[in-house]
Amino acid sequence: MSIQLGQIAPDFTAETTAGPIHFHEWAGSSWVVFFSHPKDYTPVCTTELGEAARLKPEFERRNAKIIGLSVDTLERHAGWDADIAETQGQAVNFPMIADSDRKVSEAYGMIHPEADPSVTVRTVFVIDPQKKVRLSLTYPPSTGRNFAEVLRVLDSLQLTDKHKVATPVNWQPGDKAIIVPSLDDAAAKERFPQGWDAQKPYLRWVDVKGS
């Protein structure tokens, strides 16, 4: 099963390092960044978990919760957490799902058919407060994830949900956005009284405030 953008994220119950959760209930009205790890004690993921923990205040500032998953047990998670704190200088401060029966991994398409069935692929999902999947990224085992990019996408999604805009290539918070083509000039004048710069009729640059 593969998860499509716009689809409601599958609900589930699971054991985590922070206790049992019912996923949709746990998510509440927050955004969620949900990311999987092949298994415990993997080197690249050790660095990722430390970085995600360091960035937790940035996710919280964006009304986003973070949660990880591995197919290993809670007992192995506990040992790995100690290694992460030791080597990365930051303890894991968010739940890690123990998906030893692989039910959550399979529901989210995290088990690649060509991969070892005992491990998950390294996937990131961004899920909005309506429980819809808004981003899906899958990384190769050798490449660490870029959490600055995940934060950038969150900023973009929250901005574009509030305004009738899209964000261009390499956009960063504070940069100009693009008025979406579905908004004609008359409607755009009402929404953006400050005006815009039209390079082409379909390419209208506008300054908008953050989310």
Tens-digit pLDDT profile for residues 32-41: 999 987 776 6
Listed in order, the ranges of the chain carrying CATH 3.40.30.10 are 13-145
Contact (Cβ atoms closer than 8 angstroms) between residue 125 and residue 135? yes
Domain 163-206: top CATH class: alpha beta
Q: Which CATH class is domain 13-145?
A: alpha beta
User: Beta-strand (E) ranges in the chain?
Assistant: 13-14, 21-22, 31-36, 64-70, 96-98, 122-127, 133-139, 165-166, 177-179, 197-200, 203-206
* 8 Å CB contact between 15 and 74: yes
Per residue in 136-183, pLDDT (tens digit) is 998 887 888 899 999 999 999 999 999 989 999 999 999 999 999 999
Which residues does the annotation mark as catalytic?
45
Every domain of the chain with CATH number 3.30.1020.10 lies at: 163-206
Tell me if 189 sits within 8 A of 204, measured CB to CB.
no
Confidence check: pLDDT of 59 > 70: yes
With 0.85 as the threshold, say if the pTM is over it: yes
pLDDT at 74 over 80: no
